[in-house]
Structure 1
Amino acid sequence: MNVTAVIPARGGSKGIPGKNTAEVGGVPLVARAVRACLGAAQVTRVAVSTDDAAIARAAREAGAEVVDRPAELGSDRASSESALLHALDALEERHAAPVDVLVFVQCTSPFITSEEVDEAVLAIVRDGADSAFTAVPFHGFLWTADPDGGPGHRAHGVNHDSAVRLRRQDRTPEYLESGAVYAMRAEGFRRSGHRFFGRTQLVPTAPERAIELDEPGDLDRARALAPLLDPPQTSANPSPRPPQYPGKEL
């Protein structure tokens, strides 16, 4: 079975300029994602979709192949799905072979593990799901407020009755999408044009690893946590596995 991991990584980040090549634990974010995918036993191919030369260079050095993303898919308004569909077409043409399972990995989640990638794929190939995603157990009480612009916003409970304060163990379990790993049947993804379709299965992951980098403070926090969360070989900058499918770049 052809299981292809695609890591979309555009160059024009606004929240954190140069985000995808920023280092956490001494390793560029895009390289961290590549290494997690290369270490996954279920993944047969790893590619980075990018419009940026520095990201492409870091991806190749980490052992991935690169799909050159066209400019119209590199803006902050372009959806992740559009970049995935383009990469899927490019890779199937390049290797003259259909992709069975597409894995979407975001390098803005710096503490992805190979095990998480494998579990997302196994949700498809072993458990029969059509799509899957990593998620963390969530026990918080969510609120929303009236957007009236006044000084005293009226609050409303979202996932709870504010008059009934249930204990955590008495509440229905909830999960928060981690934003790190998604897996899907490639054929179903083409039909739906979206990462969630058919029977969707969640893959529980450790809350302490579920960090998404959107603002400069997020990057500072990830760097502070890297010595605690990284296995020794990640920060030690081991020699990357050579590319499995060097091919010509599109």
Structure 2
Amino acid sequence: MTIVSIVPCRGGSKGIPRKNVLSLAGKPLIFYSIEQSKQSSHADRTIISTDDQEIATVAKSYGAEVIVRPAEISGDTASSELALIHALDYLKDTENYEPDLVVFLQCTSPLRKDDDIDKAIIQFQQEQADSLLSVSPGHSFLWEQIDGVARSINYDYRNRPRRQEMNPQFRENGSIYIFKPWVLREYNNRLGGKISLYVMAEPCVDIDSMLDFEIAEFLLTKQHTNHAN
């Protein structure tokens, strides 16, 4: 079985300029997804999809392959799915290569344990899934407000349950996605078919602000200190 990791990393970022190459706990943010992918015993290749020369240079310095993404699918409104499809099409057209599985790693969610990617792949195979997403367990009472009307989403506020009585709930944390290429091509979506949930108990931060960045740096530093001890 051939497995490729793809990490979309565009150059533009409004929230944090140059976010993907900004130093996080002493390394560029992009380093963590590359290193974790390369440490996987199941992923055969690690590919960065980018429109940015600096990101490409940094990615190559850490051993990743680079696919240059066209500007028209690199703007603020361009979806990750467009980058993923472009990368798969490029590999098919230039190498006649199409992997059995794609591991999609979000550069902005670097808090993964060393074995998370391999564990997710093994679970994917064992459950005979078509796609998988990493999630974090949660017990929040959720509400929404539409046209000024507030409504409880995942519980009945008139009959409030105890947390331990609620069905297990999970938050999509953006760290790991796995899918078969046909899922992406058929649904234009990273998820489809039989979907598996890979539960990550450790804190997971999707970096979108400087506060997120600082939290991720604190957790990464703590994680490395624990490993050293």
TM-score by length of 1: 0.86
Q: Higher relative contact order at CA 8 Å, sep ≥6: structure 1 or structure 2?
A: 1
Measured after TM superposition, the shift of residue 31 of structure 1 is: 1.1
Work out which of the residue numbers 147, 154, 157 in structure 2 matches 1:159. Answer: 154
Deviation string, structure 1 residues 94-143 (Cα, Å, up to 9, x no partner)? 43322110111001012123422122222333321000010011101111
Map of 1:22-37 to 2, 5 A cutoff?
22-37=22-37
Say how many residue pairs are matched.
Answer: 228
Measured after TM superposition, the shift of residue 207 of structure 1 is: 4.1
Measured after TM superposition, the shift of residue 93 of structure 1 is: 3.3
Work out which of the residue numbers 195, 198, 205 in structure 2 matches 1:200. Answer: 195
Tell me the distance in 1 between the aligned counterparts of 2:114 and 2:4: 14
Tell me the distance in 2 between the aligned counterparts of 1:31 and 1:90: 23
AA aligned to 1:62 is Y
Query: What is residue 222 of structure 2 aligned with on the other side?
Result: 228
Query: What is residue 175 of structure 2 aligned with on the other side?
Result: 180
AA aligned to 2:9 is A
AA aligned to 1:112 is R
Structure 1 range deviating more: 36-45 or 223-232 = 223-232
Query: What is residue 237 of structure 1 aligned with on the other side?
Result: none
Q: How much is the aligned-residue C-alpha RMSD, in angstroms?
A: 1.8
Map of 1:76-155 to 2, 5 A cutoff?
76-148=76-148, 154-155=149-150
The answer to whether the 8 A contact 1:116-1:134 is kept is no
Residues 114 and 3 of structure 1, relative CA distance in 2, 3 Å threshold: farther
Tell me the distance in 2 between the aligned counterparts of 1:95 and 1:231: 42
Deviation string, structure 1 residues 2-53 (Cα, Å, up to 9, x no partner)? 1000000000011111011112111111111100111111101100000011
Measured after TM superposition, the shift of residue 63 of structure 1 is: 1.0
Structure 2 unaligned regions, length at least 5: none
Measured after TM superposition, the shift of residue 162 of structure 1 is: 0.8
User: Which SS does the other structure have where 1:172 is aligned?
Assistant: coil
TM-score by length of 2: 0.93
Structure 1 range deviating more: 8-17 or 183-192 = 183-192
Q: Does residue 1:171 correspond to 2:166, yes or no?
A: yes
The answer to whether the 8 A contact 2:183-2:190 is kept is no
